Amino acid sequence: MEAMSVSPWVWLGFTAFVLSMLALDLGVFHRNAHVVSFKEALNWSLVCVGLAAAFNAGIYHWYGGEKALEFTTGYLIEMALSVDNIFVFLVLFSYFAVPPALQHRVLFWGVLGALVLRAIFIALGSALLQEFHWVIYLFGGLLVLTGIRLLLHQNSEMHPERNPLYRLFKRYVPAVPDYRGSAFVVREGGRWLATPLLLVLVLVEGTDLVFAIDSIPAIFAVTKDPFIVYTSNIFAILGLRSLFFLLAGVVEKFHHLKTGLALVLAFVGSKMMLVDLYKIPIGVSLGVVVALIGGSIALSLLRPKATEGAPVSERRAAQGS
């Protein structure tokens, strides 16, 4: 199906809406740093999902059911893959002992950076696919390999101190050893110094960059329409912060979720590689994604781990040096 004919004003209007939502979030609801409660996270999650549903209703009205299904499938894939980010955020916040009241600030600026990175990646991916058809096989192969790797290494632990960004930051960026309120940088002794909060933000952005390499090709398996790819990505990212605070306490119980995510990646990758032989209907793709993600969550709840490991918060509360 051909890409929608979307006016530049619609693109600008959507971007302005997203920026106004972020400004409202930081400037009004989170002007003062505070611990995000479960109720607040639930309300924001419902708002984000409601806005995405309302937007999709508009797509259905003006562009038809096929495009609405593409948006729904892309949105669900991005939301599912973003859950993997939550595991990483939990480790980072625990490792660097980020105070709960400051976690929203890190995620806010992390999301803002992610929006810019995703827009760049989507523009590049769309241009490549339009110019070079063979790139679709490259994207598909990358997703299949990523799914296999996730299946084989889903129980491996993350070590932030081994991250190249961590080492570069520690080596070249002058910093203070402790947090200074909600500041990312402070001025002391006539020079600017980074706080640990800035290091955490850098690692969060680096994490999203890695995940974008998987998630952007994944949604191109669903649709090559730049507007659908962009908007479904943005709505999923907007809901990531509230989803983190909503699931932070229970996400480790979904121990089969990574298996479901790995199978989703392998499925959409295979779909891309088979596109010239057989085009899997978008309704079938939506059903497979829902079945894999929903099934992995249900299986996790029905068959909990016999012995749960120590919570992430207890693995390491001290900062790395």
pLDDT in tens, 173-208: 999 999 998 899 999 888 999 999 999 999 999 888
In the chain, where the domains are located? 12-302
- Model confidence pLDDT, tens digit, residues 278-300: 888 888 988 998 999 999 989 98
Dist CA 281 CA 81 (whole Å): 21
Q: Which residue has the tokens 């955020």?
A: 89
3-class secondary-structure state, position 187: strand
Taking only the tens of pLDDT, the chain with its 321 residues reads 556 778 889 889 998 998 888 888 766 666 677 788 888 888 888 999 999 999 999 999 998 999 999 999 999 998 888 777 888 888 899 899 999 889 988 988 888 888 888 888 888 988 888 888 888 899 899 889 988 988 887 666 677 888 888 999 999 999 999 999 889 999 988 899 999 999 999 999 988 888 787 788 888 888 889 899 999 999 998 888 888 888 876 777 888 888 888 899 899 899 889 888 888 888 898 899 899 999 998 998 888 876 544 444 444 444 444
What are the φ and ψ backbone dihedral angles of 181, each rounded to 5 degrees? 65, -135
Q: What is the pTM of this model?
A: 0.83
- Name 26's Cβ contacts closer than 8 Å, sequence gap at least 6: 108
Nearest alpha-carbon partner for 115 in 78, 83, 147: 78
Structure tokens at 9: 């004003």
Neighbours of 172 (CB within 10 A): 7
Please return the burial class of 135, using the count of CB atoms within 10 Å of its CB with bins 0-12, 13-18 and 19+. Answer: middle
| Bridging pattern class, strands 185-188 and 191-194 | antiparallel
Dist CA 42 CA 260 (whole Å): 24
Dist CA 172 CA 197 (whole Å): 16
